[in-house]
Structure 1
């Protein structure tokens, strides 16, 4: 019975993880409110969850804030570029879906394919920004290459994110309070143990490399 209240009990470790994920989600939402900071907020979220995936987490707030400050300039530029691309693809899909002339359907599906690739890159870019110490051009290139070479795993990551959001919206709304943290944590497990080791990226983050 005494083991039930021991700090190393699996139940308490699980509850501690859920609590951390809840606070991470709150931090992500709060620091994403200005919209332009979504990139920096997301890379900071993955900085922490990647450490959690390796069971190396320390103080959640301090780690998150440190990564947010370190990555804010580059992550903001990347996010604004991706946001502009998002509007480009969304606008193209809308226009070509409504177009009536011959060949419009082909252009619509071409846009659709590129929009899917864009969404997959959007999933990978925050964790790669958190992990790699490189410039914007190389980040785009490496994100694209990692996405192509691990397409099935990135598709699985997209399905996980979609399912968690759908569960929160349509089944049990309190899930939304931990949704961002759960998505990032599950993605981080895949990245840390399946994708990153292929490229030797399974040990040092860009924030840690700067210090």
Structure 2
């Protein structure tokens, strides 16, 4: 009986789980709200990942406070990063559309496949880039470089990220209203894979307490 009371009492495992679920969903709604201007999607995504890892996974701070702290701190670099990746992806997709209408034969098919694969590659780069920006103190150029490297270096993680996005995309395609409820869970699930990668690139701290 006592064990059951502890589980359902304040600070118990059941209450803690419910609180985490609430925080995950709340962060998803914050992401949607702060992404509405479109140009702020980069800053919103960076803030989502930062708050998800710090507050939800590591139980450090309040989700709302950490979200807006990261949003404000990374707004400019995240916006630049978002614009670069969005424009490049748009150009790739534009090329695919043009080729599908005006080209034929194997050469046309080759370039359609090429631009489509580049688009997928850029999307995966984005999956690494904004979490990396939330974690590392680097300029946009270095964030892009390390993200492009991670896509290839950690190919298993990259494949898992694609699978997650495709599966969630298929579910939302069938049930569009779920788009309001999936951003938080997606970020939490993807962080399970991304954290293993990002931790490998954190500065190592020597015994004296200084980073290498």
Using structure 1 for the length normalisation, give the TM-score: 0.86
Asked if the contact 1:45/1:184 (under 8 Å) is kept, the reply is yes
| Separation in structure 2 between the aligned mates of residue 19 and residue 48 of structure 1, nearest angstrom | 13
Other-structure match for 1:199: 201
Larger Cα Rg: Structure 1 or Structure 2? 2
Aligned residues: 201
2:74 alignment partner, SS class:
helix
**Measured at CA, do residues 174 and 10 of structure 1 come closer, stay the same or move farther in structure 2, by a change above 3 Å?**
farther
1:118 equivalent to 2:108? Answer no
Asked if the contact 1:47/1:67 (under 8 Å) is kept, the reply is yes
Other-structure match for 1:206: none
Residue of structure 2 aligned with 1:106, choices 101, 107, 110: 110
1:12 equivalent to 2:19? Answer no
Q: What are structure 2's unaligned runs of at least 5 residues?
A: 206-212
Using structure 2 for the length normalisation, give the TM-score: 0.86
Deviations 1:31-89 (A, max 9, x none): 10110000000000011112246423321111101000000011111111111112101
| Separation in structure 2 between the aligned mates of residue 54 and residue 85 of structure 1, nearest angstrom | 33
| Superposed structure 1 runs of 4+ greater than 4 Å apart | none
Q: What are structure 1's unaligned runs of at least 5 residues?
A: 204-211
Higher relative contact order structure (alpha carbons within 8 Å, sequence separation ≥ 6) = 1
Deviates more, 1:158-167 or 1:9-18: 158-167
Deviations 1:169-208 (A, max 9, x none): 425x66433311111111112122x2123223699xxxxx
Displacement of 1:163 in angstroms is 1.9
